[in-house]
């Protein structure tokens, strides 16, 4: 009885949170925004239908021009962090595990008379996460990378170069270890 009422309260909380957060987005189809969601650019986020942000997702924008576009049926795991100055596009039905980092920008570091924290953030190419792909736990996806359709990225990989459709890639830096046979 208590368990059931707890579940009911959680459901209501999730619904309320999803409603109050998503109304600040540029577009929202449907889905779930779990507790701990944070972003400094709510109006720069566009999501389709059946999108899930699991707990403590953190979407950080450098400036007002960057955009996060999330297509239908995408799952974004716990503690995912994104740093955006231009565009991160997540294609439909992508599955992003917990603790994944995706970023399209870097700190400038060329000026040796300034600490790096005082140098401007530089855009280094937008990132695209392919339709139906699976990004393993703890992966880092760096600027300019495109992950292919139904590709798999192994746990804790650091992806510095684009990965083709239907490839399994792993390691630091991530390399293709196998291709998935296409029907
Ligand atoms: C990438 C993955 C799917 C590959 O699984 P698989 O097809 O069964 O591949 P294998 O285990 O046969 O591994 C193939 C080779 O890649 C290596 N490899 C596999 N995963 C790796 C990883 N994450 N990092 C580095 N190397 C990896 C293996 O050591 C093996 O190398 P070898 O041929 O020299 O022995 C799996 O290893 C993985 O990382 N899954 C992610 C799990 C996860 O993040 N779950 C989160 C919950 S959704």
pLDDT reported for residue 146: 98
CA of 88 to the centre of ligand 1 (A): 25
pLDDT reported for residue 6: 84
Binding site membership of 156 for ligand 1 (Cβ less than 6 Å): yes
Sheet of strand 158-159: strand arrangement: 38-39, 58-61, 81-84, 101-103, 140-141, 158-159
Joined together, the tokens standing for residue 148 give: 């292919």
DSSP assignment, residue 180?
Answer: P
Pocket test for ligand 1, best of 154, 159, 175, 179 (most atoms within 8 A of CB): 154
**Distance in angstroms (rounded) separating the CA atoms of residues 120 and 63:** 11
Asked if omega into 54 is within 30° of 0 (cis), the reply is: no
Binding site membership of 152 for ligand 1 (Cβ less than 6 Å): yes
CB 46 within 8 A of CB 26: yes
Binding site membership of 154 for ligand 1 (Cβ less than 6 Å): yes
Local confidence pLDDT in tens for the 183 residues of the chain:
667 788 889 889 999 999 999 999 999 999 999 999 999 999 999 999 999 999 999 999 998 999 999 999 999 999 999 999 999 999 999 999 999 999 999 999 999 999 999 999 998 899 999 999 999 999 999 999 999 999 999 999 999 999 999 999 999 999 999 999 988
CATH code: domain 2-179 is 2.160.10.10
pLDDT reported for residue 174: 98
pLDDT in tens, 117-152: 999 999 889 999 999 999 999 999 999 999 999 999
CA of 168 to the centre of ligand 1 (A): 8
Alpha-carbon Rg for the chain, nearest whole angstrom, is 17
* Residue closest by Cα to atom 30 of ligand 1: 177
CB 85 within 8 A of CB 76: no
- CA distance between the termini of the chain: 49
Joined together, the tokens standing for residue 183 give: 């029907």
* CA dihedral sign of residues 126, 142, 173, 93: negative
The count of other CB atoms within 10 Å of the CB of residue 68 is: 23
**Distance in angstroms (rounded) separating the CA atoms of residues 134 and 89:** 15
Residues in the chain: 183
pLDDT reported for residue 1: 61
């Amino acid at each position: 009885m208590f368990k059931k009422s707890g579940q009911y309260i959680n459901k209501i909380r999730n619904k309320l949170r999803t409603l109050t957060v998503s109304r600040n987005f540029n577009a929202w189809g449907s889905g779930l925004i779990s507790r701990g969601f944070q972003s400094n650019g709510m109006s720069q986020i566009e999501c389709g239908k059946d999108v899930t942000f699991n707990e403590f997702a953190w979407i950080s924008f450098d400036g007002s021009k960057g955009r996060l576009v999330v297509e239908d049926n995408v799952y974004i795991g716990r503690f995912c962090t994104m740093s955006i100055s231009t565009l991160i596009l997540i294609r439909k039905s992508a599955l992003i595990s917990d603790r994944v980092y995706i970023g399209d920008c870097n700190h400038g570091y060329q000026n040796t008379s300034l600490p790096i924290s005082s140098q401007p953030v530089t855009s280094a190419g937008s990132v695209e996460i392919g339709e139906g792909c699976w990004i393993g736990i703890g992966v880092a996806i760096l600027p300019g990378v495109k992950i292919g359709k139904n590709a798999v990225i192994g746990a804790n990989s650091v992806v510095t170069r684009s990965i083709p459709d239907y490839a399994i890639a792993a390691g630091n830096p991530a390399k293709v270890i196998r291709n998935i046979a296409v029907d």
